[in-house]
């Protein structure tokens, strides 16, 4: 399928996604404040339960992850933060990475794929082979995301994600705490019961830096070639691997054994 058109370049939506600017009503603010207190308490308890250097947070720079980054850094929680640079991220994500370092006066802890594995994959299959077959998509995700994640989680007892139950059909029963069989450690999803509106209310209330692609109807952002904008009312994760079955598309970071 050498002439596959990703569709990414065809969509140039205006930067006016209303979902990123919810009306900050008293009810919404109260709800966000209550859930923020809950998330903060959960993160604090987690760091106490597992001890220093044992809990790590995977920041992929989505809106939810920026909320958790803000909570962890501002409350000086004993939780490490790391990120994965797949080498195929959109420029807006790199802009946000740089902005995050400046905003929080911190240095990012970034894990990269192994160059020899990428080199072999590209030479064997082609630079954009992930469009051609699901096994090639999954092996690209494995090299660029899963293996670096495994390195980042090595020696940890628990990890934190910014996943929400309402994000996808694959996440509808997402618990706040679960055992991650694949990586053999505890996994916490403190924003599991947050709505998209609450996430954006937090970002606006606390002036948290965020990825400008969200304003252009990209509710979920991954690698540039595998992410597109969504139409109003479309599923939040419809823009990720849009050519695949929506009931079965995760990158391998959050699969259950
Ligand atoms: S999201 Fe796409 S480019 Fe990124 S690792 Fe997966 S298949 Fe490769």
Count Cβ atoms below 10 Å from residue 124 Cβ, excluding itself.
10
pLDDT attached to residue 167: 80
Distance CA 92, CA 97 (A): 9
Count Cβ atoms below 10 Å from residue 76 Cβ, excluding itself.
7
Mean pLDDT on 28-34: 98
Mean pLDDT on 119-140: 96
Distance CA 17, CA 20 (A): 6
Q: Which residue of 60, 88, 224 sits with most ligand 1 atoms within 8 Å of its CB, as the best mutation to test the pocket?
A: 88
- 243, exposed or middle or buried, with CB in 10 Å at 0-12, 13-18, 19+? middle
Beta strands 177-180 and 55-58 are unpaired
The pLDDT > 90 percentage for the chain reads 75
Residue 8 pLDDT class (50, 70, 90 cuts): very low
- Distance between the two ends of the chain, CA-based, in angstroms? 31
Domain residue ranges of the chain, discontinuous segments joined by +: 8-248
Q: Is a pLDDT exceeding 50 seen at residue 11?
A: no
Q: Residue 155 has what DSSP assignment?
A: T
Distance CA 238, CA 243 (A): 9
The atom number, within ligand 1, closest to the CA of 227 reads 1
- Residue range 188-208, pLDDT digits in tens: 999 999 999 999 999 999 999
Distance CA 3, CA 146 (A): 28
Distance CA 254, CA 187 (A): 10
Question: Sign (positive/negative) of CA torsion 10, 11, 14, 15?
Answer: negative
Residues 8-248: name the CATH superfamily: HUPs (3.40.50.620)
Q: Which residue of 60, 90, 121, 226 sits with most ligand 1 atoms within 8 Å of its CB, as the best mutation to test the pocket?
A: 226
pLDDT attached to residue 171: 64
Ligand 1 atom 4, closest CA: 223
- Residue range 87-125, pLDDT digits in tens: 999 999 999 999 999 999 999 999 999 999 999 999 999
Cα–ligand 1 centroid distance for 231 (angstroms): 22
Average pLDDT, the chain: 90
The HSE-up count of residue 101 (CA atoms within 13 Å, CB side) is 11
Count Cβ atoms below 10 Å from residue 119 Cβ, excluding itself.
10
CA-closest candidate to residue 254, choices 184, 180, 194? 180
pLDDT attached to residue 13: 58
Residues with CB under 6 A from ligand 1: 86, 88, 130, 137, 140-141, 144-145, 222-223, 225-226, 251
Ligand 1 atom 5, closest CA: 141
Residue 241 pLDDT class (50, 70, 90 cuts): confident
At 179 the three-state DSSP class reads strand
Q: Is the Cβ–Cβ distance between 65 and 59 less than 8 Å?
A: yes
pLDDT attached to residue 16: 85
- Residue range 154-178, pLDDT digits in tens: 999 999 999 999 886 666 679 999 9
pLDDT attached to residue 257: 53
């Amino acid at each position: 399928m050498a002439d596959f058109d990703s569709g990414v370049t065809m969509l140039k939506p205006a930067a006016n996604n209303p979902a990123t600017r919810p009306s900050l009503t008293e009810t919404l603010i109260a709800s966000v404040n209550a859930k923020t207190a809950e998330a903060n308490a959960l993160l604090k308890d987690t760091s106490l339960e597992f001890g220093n250097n044992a809990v790590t947070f995977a920041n992929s720079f989505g809106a939810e992850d920026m909320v958790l980054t803000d909570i962890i850094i501002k409350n000086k929680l004993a939780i490490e933060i790391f990120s994965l640079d797949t080498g195929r991220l959109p420029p807006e994500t790199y802009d946000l990475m740089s902005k995050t370092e400046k905003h929080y006066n911190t240095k990012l802890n970034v894990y990269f794929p192994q160059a020899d594995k990428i080199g072999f994959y590209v030479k064997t299959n082609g630079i954009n082979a992930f469009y051609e077959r699901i096994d090639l998509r999954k092996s690209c995700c494995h090299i660029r995301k899963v293996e670096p994640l495994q390195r980042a989680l090595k020696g940890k007892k628990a990890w934190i994600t910014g996943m929400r139950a309402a994000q996808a059909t694959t996440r509808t029963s997402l618990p706040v705490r679960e055992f991650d069989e694949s990586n053999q450690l505890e996994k916490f999803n403190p924003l599991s019961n947050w709505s998209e509106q609450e996430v954006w209310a937090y970002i606006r209330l606390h002036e948290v830096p965020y990825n400008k692609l969200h304003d252009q109807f990209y509710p979920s952002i991954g690698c540039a070639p595998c992410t597109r904008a969504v139409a109003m009312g479309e599923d939040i994760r419809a823009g990720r691997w849009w050519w695949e079955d929506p009931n079965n598309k995760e990158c391998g970071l959050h699969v259950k054994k």
